[in-house]
Amino acid sequence: MSESGERYVSAVTRPHIEPGRLFIGGQWRVAESKGRRDVVDPSTGTVITTVAEADAADLDAAVDAARGAFEGWARTPGRVRARILHRVADVIREREDELVAVESVDVGKPVTLSRAVDVATAAEEYEYYSALAQSVDGATRQIPVPSHAYTRREPLGVVGAITPFNFPLILSSSKIAPALAAGNTVVHKPAEDTPLSALLMAEILAEAGVPDGVVNVVTGGGAVGEALLRHPGVDKIAFTGSTRVGKLAAAVASQSLKPVTMELGGNAAQIVFEDADLDKAIGSVIKGFVFNTGQFCMGGPRLLVHRSLHDTVLEILSQAVAGVPLGDPFDPATVIGPMTAARHLENVETYVAIAREDGGRIVTGGERLELGGGYYYKPTVIAGLANDSRAVQEEIFGPVLTVQSFDTEDEAVELANSTAYGLASGLCTNDLARAHRVAARLQAGIVWVNDWAMLDPAVPFGGVKQSGYGREYGPEGLEPYTKVKSVVISLA
């Protein structure tokens, strides 16, 4: 590891992430469980620190703390909640260097990405929902009987937030910020591989003035997540993760009729039409599949290119992709870091092997990069696969791009919609009418035109088909954290 890397590692081995402690009721508590879990630096394969493996008693304590804090937080005026959430955004920016350090060493994310995307976005999420906290309003309704009728939007209660390993800071903030804005309290279970920013954010939320018990953090593996899904004291589940686990989570939550929002897997297509600006299109294509080392549910791992451009695009990609800086995430020049865990690296290798068996041609990449014991895989472009290959149809979740050709607009849309997923999609064209026409036909929660991963807290995203249901971001992202009550007063 570089000297800068050593400095980042030292930044996360601090008392606020002391092994064995959980954040419950506004306090750092030693977990009742004696279980511990190692947290590994994916750039070296070495252990950074350990965290608690929470058990049922720990989870009960966290839910009790959230329930105890709920009434007071729910009755806190929206303007007061707004000020506190805005202060959270301020403290995130003040402690930017710490958050960058934690996110990069925990996830293997390049520091430039952690700073410009993850930390910046988390601050913007709290800032955006601080504004909406002041406008959680109902409406009056005109009815024919002599009465005064109106609706109220009220918080649900205790929200169980279960978040994934790839964007731990962003995807926890996208749940906690609207939940708090609406007046709910939260028990957060971060991913077992990447829990460190959740622990640091607990400290930041407290510093910003979030009252004790309003946000609680329990660390651990799948058993803790399942217990949170089943807990009778939890009123709603907000989940981001794989489609496989999401189906299990929805089934468990349904047993107690908990409302659930699910942001699940994706396998988006990037369509490059014959009239596209090729320089811009190539940049969008590369960003779409190497962003966050391909560990991005809204990534674009399937390239559909017009047949007239197919060979030209492959030639450009063979040179350009091999030149994308890959290596030490603590080097500011790095664009692609390691995979977050060894099992994710092995999963990518499995799919590339499947592609080879199915007749795929490796245009570039296709193998590990041996570097300092880390979990590195070279960005890979594969051509010549049939559409029914598992390497095309299934979510690889790594820096792998498959390339297919098409002849007509209808064929492009059919190929784009041919998988079980529907989280994101995109196209490159200079024809404005085509952009609108194709966007309307793509089965996805968000469609990007002439670029990739254009995200903002004001613009909702979410899945269709096997990519889940519910929306995050925008006013639409606040609604799942509220319930509507109608009040009708007789005037007779």
The DSSP call for residue 140 is E
**Any idea what DSSP says for residue 165?**
S
Give the C-alpha separation, 154 to 50, whole Å.
39
Spatial distance between the Cα atoms of 272 and 249, rounded to a whole number of angstroms: 36
List the catalytic residue out of 103, 125, 175, 192: 175
Q: Reply yes or no on whether 263 is catalytic.
A: yes
CA torsion 184→86→478→234, rounded to 10°? -20
- The encoded tokens of residue 452 equal 């990739």
Write out the DSSP string of 357-387: HTT-EEEE--SEE--TT--EE--EEEE---T
- 226 burial via Cβ count (<10 Å: 0-12, 13-18, 19+): middle
Q: Convert 198-242 into a string of H (helix), E (strand) and C (coil).
A: HHHHHHHHHHHCCCCCCEEECCCCHHHHHHHHHCCCCCEEEEECC
Which residues are bridge partners to 403 per DSSP? Answer: 303, 383
Query: What's the farthest any 2 CA atoms get from each other in the chain?
Result: 80
The H or E element spanning position 187 is strand 185-189
Cβ–Cβ under 8 Å, residues 187 and 197: no
Active-site residue flag, 175: yes
Catalytic residue among 103, 192, 287, 297: 297
The token duo for 52 is 């608690």
Specify the residue for token string 């297509």: 269
428 pairs with which residues across the strands?
272
Count of beta carbons in the 10 Å neighbourhood of residue 424 = 29
Encode burial over 447-471: b for 16+ CB neighbours within 10 A, e otherwise.
bbbbebbebebeebbbbebbbbbbb
Which one of 203, 263, 395, 409 is the catalytic residue? 263
Residue among 98, 203, 395, 472 flagged as catalytic: 472
Are the C-beta atoms of residues 366 and 317 closer than 8 Å to each other?
no
Asked if 70 contacts 367 with a C-beta cutoff of 8 angstroms, the reply is: no
Does residue 265 contact residue 467 with C-beta atoms inside 8 Å? yes
Residue 451, SS3 per DSSP: coil
**What are the catalytic residues?**
175, 263, 297, 472
